[in-house]
């Protein structure tokens, strides 16, 4: 039962993340990046500290693309991050 609840929390968090990302409209990349960073952090917290190595790699790749080594293009980043998020287990 507890495992099912955890899976539901992950699924809800992923749905919320995708909704936030879809509706995140900022003119400046810096503003977009700050909000996206927060959304990634919240999603990562939903997966917990005991997430498997593949999940951790996906979160690291999200941060790398959005925060540490960005293209500076909001729409390209949005698509890349959404694609990575869809690879996360529900």
Dump pLDDT digits (tens) for 6-19.
567 889 999 999 99
Q: Which domain holds residue 23?
A: 2-85
- Residue 78 belongs to a domain: yes
Query: Does any domain span residue 73?
Result: yes
8 A C-beta contact, residue 13 and residue 89: no
Q: Looking at the 3D structure of the chain, how many domains does it have?
A: 1
Q: CA end-to-end span of the chain, whole Å?
A: 16
Predicted confidence (pLDDT) per residue in 23-56, tens digit: 999 999 999 999 999 999 999 999 998 899 999 9
Residue 90 domain flag: no
Residue in 27, 45, 46, 37 with CA at minimum distance from that of residue 65: 37
Give CA–CA dist 72/17, Å, rounded: 20
pTM across the whole model = 0.88
Instruction: Supply the pLDDT for residue 9.
Output: 84
C-alpha distances in angstroms, 13 versus 5, 31, 69? 12, 22, 25
Bigger pLDDT: 2 or 47?
A: 47
50 domain-assigned = yes
């Amino acid at each position: 039962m507890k495992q099912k609840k955890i899976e539901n929390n992950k699924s809800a968090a992923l749905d919320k993340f995708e909704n936030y990302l879809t509706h995140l409209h900022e003119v400046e990349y810096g503003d977009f990046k700050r909000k996206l960073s927060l959304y990634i952090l919240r999603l990562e917290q939903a997966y917990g500290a005991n997430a498997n190595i593949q999940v951790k790699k996906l979160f690291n790749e999200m941060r790398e693309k959005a925060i540490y080594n960005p293209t500076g293009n909001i729409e390209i980043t949005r698509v890349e991050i959404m694609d990575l998020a869809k690879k996360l287990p529900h």
